[in-house]
Amino acid sequence: MTTITAPPTPYPAKYTTPFLLYPPALWRNAIGTDFAQEHLGLQEQGTDYVMYLSVPFCRVRCHSCPYFVDLLSIHDKRTQNKEERYVDALIADLERWSSYPRFATGRLRAIYIGGGTGSILSTANLKRLIDTITTKFPLQDGYELTLEGNARDYDGPKLDYVADSAITRISLGVQSFDPGILKVIGSPHGAEQSVTAINEFHSRGFRNVQMDMMYNLPGHTRQIWQNDLRRLADLDVEHLTTYLYRIHDDTPQAKFIASGKVQPLLDKESQYVKNMQADLVEAAAELGFINYMFDHYAKPGAESIYNEWTFGRNMIEVLGVGPGAYGFVNDYRIGTAKNVEGYIAASDRREHLISAVSPKLDDTVRRERYLVNVLQYGRIDLDAYLGYFDTELSDDFPGVVEKIVDRGLAVIEDRRLILSDLGREWHMNVMLEFTNDQFWGDASVLDSPHWAMNTPMVELFAGRKQDWLG
C-alpha cells in the first residue's frame, strides 16, 4: 500500500498576500512640490513606461475593501460636483506630466484606469480623459488601455462609447454570480448585471473582457464556487483573475465577523479551500486558459500587456497619477495620498502632489526589485537578468539561489530558474528571499504615509524576516 506523505514545509509560515511593492517603505515627502522637478529627471530623454490613473470614487464601500477612497453620490452633479472638479484636475495634471521630455519622448506601452472604480465616470468625462491620454502622450503600436470597473456603470451610451473608443480592455469586478454571496460582501452590483454587461460588449464586437472573481468568501461553498466557474463557459471572457477573499483590519467585514453577523472564513490552508483552488485550475484548463502569472489566467494572446511591461519587463517606469496612485520614476517610488480635495487643490496650483517617496534605488535594490516583480511569472530568465545588470544571478544572490534549489522550490533549466510546484505554492516566500535585510524590522515606517496596496507590505516588513524565511 502506497503511503502519501505531506509535502515538505520549507518555511515557518506562508505569506499569501498576492503582491509585493518593492522597496516596501515610503517616507513622507519633506521636500514638497519641488520633489518632482529636483529628483525625477523630468527634462531627461524618456524610455518605455506605463501609466496608472486613479479614479478614487465608489458608489458604495464593499465590506472588506481596504482601497476605498471616497463615495461619489449619484446626485453629485447638483451637490458637490466632485466628479467634474476631479476630472478637470486630473486632466490638468496629465497635461503637465505630458509636457516634460521624460514622458513626451518616452514610449507609453499600457494604461490602467483603476481606483476606486474607473467606470464610475460619466461617459462625457471618460471621453475627456481618454482624449487627453491619446492626444498628449506617445502611445505606441500595440498599446493596451484597460478600464477597470463595475457592471452597474455600463448603460447604453457608455457601452457604445467604450466599444468604439481607444479603450482596448475592460476589467470587471464580478467576484461571484451568487446573489447571496454578493450581498454578504457588500458588492455594488447584482449577479446578472455582470452577465448583461459582458454580453452587451460582445454584441458590439468588443471581446477583450477581464473578470475578477474571488473564492472562500463568507458562506462560499464549493458547490457555489463550481457554479460560478461553470458560468465562464457561456460568457467566453478572455482573461480571468482570481483571489482568495481576505478580511482586512478595520473594515466593516472584520467587524461583522467579530460580532457574529457574518460567518468567518475557512482556513485558507484547509483541504476544502485547496479543493476550491483545484476546481479553478481544472475549469481554467478545460476552457483553454493559461495560468501565465500567479492568480492570472488568459486565453492565448490575451495576457495583460500592462502586467507584462510592469512585472515581466520590470525595468520600465510607472507614471501614477491621481489620489491613491503609486509610481516609479527615475529609480524612486512615489505615491499620492488618498485625499481628493487635496489633490484638486494642488492641481489648481499647478503642482504635482507627491505625498510619499522612497530613497533612490541603488544597484542592489534595483536587482531585488526586478526579481521580486518578475517572479510573479514563476520564473527568472537568467540571460535577461545578465542583459539588464551585466552580472549573473548566481553571483549576486549565491546563498538564495542555492537555498531555494536545495529545498526543491526551484530548478535551473536552459538558463532559467523555474519555480517547482512546491515553489509555486510558497511563491510569496520565495520572492521574500530576494529582499534586502535593511528593509526589515523597522517599525518606525508604520508612522509614514501608506495606503491601499502598500499598507500590507509595510506591515510585513516592519516585522522580522526570519518569521517568514527561518
Dihedral sign from CA coordinates of 132, 134, 140, 142: positive
pLDDT in the model for residue 80: 84
**Dihedral (C-alpha) 428, 424, 468, 325: value to the nearest 10 degrees?**
10
pLDDT in the model for residue 68: 62
The CA-atom distances, in angstroms, between 224 and each of 35, 184, 274, 383 are: 51, 14, 15, 45
- Looking at the structure, give the CATH architecture of the domain made up of residues 362-439: Orthogonal Bundle (1.10)
Rounded Cα–Cα distance for residues 372 and 353 (Å): 28
pLDDT for residue 108 is more than 50: yes
Phi-psi region of 239 (alpha: psi -120 to 50; beta: other; left: phi over 0): beta
Dihedral sign from CA coordinates of 467, 218, 193, 232: positive
Rounded Cα–Cα distance for residues 355 and 283 (Å): 43
Of 45-59, 68-82, 85-99, the one with minimum mean pLDDT is: 68-82
pLDDT for residue 69 is more than 70: no
The CA-atom distances, in angstroms, between 194 and each of 71, 174, 342, 363, 369 are: 21, 6, 34, 45, 36
Of 93-102, 410-419, 450-459, the one with minimum mean pLDDT is: 450-459
- The contacts of residue 386 (CB under 8 Å, 6+ apart) are 392, 393
Phi, psi of 233 (to 5 degrees): -60, -40
pLDDT in the model for residue 330: 98
Rounded Cα–Cα distance for residues 446 and 202 (Å): 46
Cell of 287: 476552457
pLDDT for residue 3 is more than 50: no
pLDDT for residue 1 is more than 90: no
Are 389 and 367 a contacting pair, CB within 8 Å? Answer: yes
Residue range 178-190: average pLDDT? 91
Helix (H, G, I), strand (E, B) or coil at 464: coil
Residue range 2-10: average pLDDT? 61
pLDDT tens string 429-452: 999 999 999 999 999 999 988 888
Are 401 and 434 a contacting pair, CB within 8 Å? Answer: no
pLDDT tens string 348-376: 999 999 999 999 999 999 999 999 999 99
Phi, psi of 241 (to 5 degrees): -120, 130
Strand 410-413 to strand 416-419: parallel, antiparallel, or no bridges (unpaired)?
antiparallel
Q: Which 8-state DSSP code applies to residue 361?
A: P
Report percent pLDDT > 90 for the chain. 85
Q: Closest Cα partner for 172 from 198, 137, 196?
A: 198
CATH 3.80.30.20 domain span(s) along the chain: 27-312
Burial letters 113-126, b for 16+ CB under 10 A, else e: bbbbbbbbbbbebb
Are 73 and 131 a contacting pair, CB within 8 Å? Answer: no
pLDDT for residue 290 is more than 50: yes
pLDDT in the model for residue 7: 60
Confidence of residue 2 (pLDDT cuts 50, 70, 90): very low
**What mean pLDDT, rounded, does the chain reach?**
94
> What count of other Cβ atoms lies within 10 Å of the Cβ of residue 255?
13
Are 40 and 332 a contacting pair, CB within 8 Å? Answer: yes
Rounded Cα–Cα distance for residues 123 and 61 (Å): 22
Are 113 and 129 a contacting pair, CB within 8 Å? Answer: yes
What spatial distance separates the first Cα and last Cα of the chain, rounded to whole Å? 35
- 27-312 topology per CATH: pyruvate-formate lyase- activating enzyme (3.80.30)
Residue range 117-124: average pLDDT? 96
Phi-psi region of 295 (alpha: psi -120 to 50; beta: other; left: phi over 0): left
Confidence of residue 60 (pLDDT cuts 50, 70, 90): confident
Of all helices (H) and strands (E), which one includes residue 308?
none
Dihedral sign from CA coordinates of 176, 178, 182, 187: positive
Burial letters 16-45, b for 16+ CB under 10 A, else e: eebbbbbbbbbeebeeeeebbeebbbbeee
Helix (H, G, I), strand (E, B) or coil at 213: strand
CATH 1.10.10.920 domain span(s) along the chain: 362-439
Residue 79 buriedness (CB in 10 A; 0-12 / 13-18 / 19+): exposed
Phi, psi of 216 (to 5 degrees): 60, 45
